[in-house]
Amino acid sequence: MIGQSSPFSEALKHAVLILGALIVILPFYVMVSYSLKSPREIETNTGGFFGAQEQMVDEYCVKLGNAREDCLATPVIHNYTQAFKKAPLLRYLLNGVIVTASIFLIQVLVALPCAYALSKLKFWGREIVFGMVLFCLLIPVHAIALPLYIMLAKAGLTNSYAALVVPWTISVFGIFLMRQFFKTVPDDLIDAARMDGMNEFSIVWKVMLPTAIPALMAFAIFSVVAHWNDYFWPRVVITGNRDLYTPPLGLREFKGDGDGSYWGPMMATATIIVTPLIVAFLMAQKRFIEGITLTGMK
Amino acid sequence: MAVDVAIAAGTERQAPTRRKLFTAESLAGYVFVAPAIVLMLVILVAPVLIAAALSFTDYSLGNPDFEWVGTENYEKMFSRSTYKKMLTASAIYVLVVVPVSIGLGLGAALLINSLKRFGDIYKTIYFLPVMAALLAMAIVWEFSLHPTIGIVNKVLASGCGGVLEEISEWYAAGCARNFPLWFGDRDYAIWTVCFIGIWQGFGFNMVLYLAGLTSVPRELYHAAAMDGADRAWDRFRLVTWPMLGPTTVFVVTITTIRSFQVFDTVEAITQGGPSKTTYVMMYAIYEKAIQHNLIGIGAAITIVFLAFVLLLTFAQRWLVERRVHYS
């Protein structure tokens, strides 16, 4: 901005921002640090960030009737192996990937042709369909969870992958975003493709899809972040069947039976769930922020 | 007269389009929009209608029959103390989280934007909570705010005996007895839940404001300086804030709609308690309708919820059309 900022005001700004940053980072610090520590270090808040990593006795292992010396473990290894052993965390992560990927693929499969038709094809009723898209933008899917749940229950689909995926297959927001993007694609490109003898179907997937990659990336970020982190909907439709748990559900289950001594493995689980998106974000933050801005600004 | 012309023009235009109904192009159009239309109707429109219908019944899942109960569910919502508490908790959450997370988002954006360097580092850090699963972070916060082993109360306690005790009565009281239980204390629980909401969401608003700031033309600042507005506050009041109008309208709407939907923190930590002080709408729908199978009341809450969202969105459209920026 204009105006000369003195070194003093510059330092003051940094002081304020650093204070904010400390508060923002605090839980991440706690999470990672405690995933490395033994229960005793957690309770007494000792051991610094990494913990002393002294051998600890796994009380649960002792309870199972093993000799104490066979139950020695290094805290960090203990916490992370417990995270995978105590609950099928790998299964949960796989479910998370399956659900998130299916949602995104189906969303694109439905939204892309629709957006192309709404922006480039002339047909009677096009404006009505677009009006419908605009109307549906007003409905937050989480808010209508209850009737969706009843419909799925009536169809006997609760506790299935379908229940996790189906309500998210239509992204009116995706349609809207893609339509705005396709509007900027010159008609000549499509005419040329038609001259080459391409039919409308191959135009969508061979001409429009490649040009839409930047918009699709933005939408992918939006969709993946939302559904990997979503807790509400899986909580509603998955009741009891642990094989279908998504990562947040798996973590919640951990908390449910945690009696305090499982804080270490629980923090390890939290770290494992949160890490993929954070790492992806740190590696490509410009893209992420652009994507979130683009999709956020609708 | 004018109307006649319009109608004539309308029918004239109708004719060729009718003929076009079955060209290859229009056929492709129908095929391409068909799946989207079906899904919109089944997944978005039908549920709203179903919720509206169910909100006038005492339906519960598994029962073959149900009765129409008129507006009873709605009357309950606006008379019974449980639902009054629900509306209060949601209102507090929205009225706290929206302004504070927007204020902090704007503040952070302005500060970062005016820095000579290192701005990107803060941007990255402040955006981290937006990417992290709220459920996981809520659990970590719960742990950090644990009354006995949590890091927050430990840090607070370590300041006891110092100046802070003399400055703040609250701090002194905390040292004398105990620092708050946070989630377990009904005077603190909703505010603590709000705090997590703000912590999680303000980075998103910051990014939107940073995007908005890049579109403010620099000449406007020069012009303002010419007119004698050279204090930072004047520049903000006369140029930056009006130019950020559209961004603000959007940020307010989206943050409000999101705040109405808060669920993860409440479900994982407080379960609506203590004494229903954190009993927000989304959790109420979940608890009443899905756990207790009281579909009717859940549907009524859903409809009230949607009414709020509609109202907000129309208010946003209206504001945008009035052109909030004074250009």
Give the gap in angstroms from C-alpha A121 to the nearest C-alpha of chain B: 6
Q: Which of A43-52, A81-90, A126-135, B6-15 has the lowest mean pLDDT?
A: B6-15
Report the distance separating Cα B249 and Cα B138, nearest Å.
28
Nearest Cα residue to B290 out of B51, B76, B52, B61: B61
Confidence of residue A261 (pLDDT cuts 50, 70, 90): low
Q: Inspect the interface and report whether the beta carbons of B30 and A123 lie closer than 8 Å.
A: yes
Contacts of B48 in chain A (CB under 8 A): 139, 144, 147
Q: What is the pLDDT of residue A7?
A: 82
Over range A73-95, report the average pLDDT.
Answer: 86
Report the distance separating Cα A237 and Cα A247, nearest Å.
15
Q: What is the pLDDT of residue A234?
A: 93
Contacts of B36 in chain A (CB under 8 A): 110-111, 113-114, 129, 133, 170, 175
Q: What is the pLDDT of residue B98?
A: 94
Q: Inspect the interface and report whether the beta carbons of B133 and A252 lie closer than 8 Å.
A: no
Complex confidence, ipTM: 0.87
Nearest Cα residue to A125 out of B36, B46, B48, B5: B36
Q: Inspect the interface and report whether the beta carbons of A1 and B221 lie closer than 8 Å.
A: yes
Q: What is the pLDDT of residue B4?
A: 39
Q: Whole-model pTM?
A: 0.86
Q: Does B15 touch chain A (CB under 8 A)?
A: no
Q: Nearest residue on chain B to A148, judged by CA atoms?
A: B47
Each residue's pLDDT tens digit in chain B (327 positions)? 333 334 344 444 444 444 555 787 888 889 999 999 999 999 999 999 999 999 998 888 877 778 888 888 898 888 888 889 999 999 999 999 999 999 999 999 999 988 888 888 999 999 999 999 999 999 999 888 888 778 888 888 877 877 777 778 788 878 877 788 888 888 889 999 999 999 999 999 999 999 888 888 888 888 888 887 778 788 888 888 888 888 888 899 889 988 999 999 999 888 887 888 899 999 999 998 989 988 999 999 999 999 988 898 888 888 877 765 544
Report the distance separating Cα B284 and Cα B272, nearest Å.
8
Angle at A35 between CA A33 and CA A41, to 5 degrees: 70
Nearest to B122 among A21, A116, A139 (CB): A21
Q: What is the pLDDT of residue A295?
A: 67
Q: Does B190 touch chain A (CB under 8 A)?
A: no
Mean pLDDT over the full length of chain A: 86
Helix (H, G, I), strand (E, B) or coil at B68: strand
Does residue A191 register a pLDDT over 70? Answer: yes
Angle at A44 between CA A40 and CA A47, to 5 degrees: 80
Contacts of A129 in chain B (CB under 8 A): 33, 36-37
Q: How many Å is the maximal CA-CA distance in chain A? A: 79
Q: What is the pLDDT of residue B286?
A: 93
- B:251-310 residues touching chain A, CB 8 A cutoff: 254, 257, 260-261, 263-264, 267-268, 282, 285-286, 289-290, 295, 298-299, 302, 305-306, 309-310
Give the gap in angstroms from C-alpha A61 to the nearest C-alpha of chain B: 24
Nearest to A167 among B43, B45, B48 (CB): B43
Q: Nearest residue on chain B to A122, judged by CA atoms?
A: B26
Helix (H, G, I), strand (E, B) or coil at B57: strand
Contacts of A146 in chain B (CB under 8 A): 51, 285, 289-290, 295, 298-299, 302
Does residue A260 register a pLDDT over 70? Answer: no
Q: Nearest residue on chain A to B50, judged by CA atoms?
A: A147
Residue A72 sits at φ, ψ, to 5 deg, of: -75, 145
Give the gap in angstroms from C-alpha B1 to the nearest C-alpha of chain A: 27
Q: Are B93 and B259 in contact (CB under 8 A)?
A: yes
Does residue A298 register a pLDDT over 70? Answer: no
Give the gap in angstroms from C-alpha B308 to the nearest C-alpha of chain A: 11
Contacts of A123 in chain B (CB under 8 A): 20-21, 25-27, 29-30
Q: Inspect the interface and report whether the beta carbons of B28 and A2 lie closer than 8 Å.
A: no
Q: Which residues contact A255 (CB under 8 A, 6 or more apart)?
A: A266, B139, B268
Q: Inspect the interface and report whether the beta carbons of A151 and B128 lie closer than 8 Å.
A: no
Contacts of B104 in chain A (CB under 8 A): 20
Query: How many residues are recorded in chain B?
Result: 327
Report the distance separating Cα A198 and Cα B308, nearest Å.
47
Q: Inspect the interface and report whether the beta carbons of A232 and B286 lie closer than 8 Å.
A: yes
Contacts of B47 in chain A (CB under 8 A): 144, 147-148, 151
Nearest Cα residue to B316 out of A234, A212, A167, A298: A298
Q: Inspect the interface and report whether the beta carbons of A118 and B282 lie closer than 8 Å.
A: no
Nearest Cα residue to B60 out of A154, A145, A234: A154
Q: What is the DSSP string of A23-89?
A: HHHHHHHHHHHHTTS-HHHHHHT-STTT-----EE-HHHHHTT--GGGGEE-HHHHHHHHHHHHS-H
Nearest to A229 among B31, B33, B134 (CB): B134
Interface test with A, best of B19, B21, B44 (most A CBs within 10 A): B44
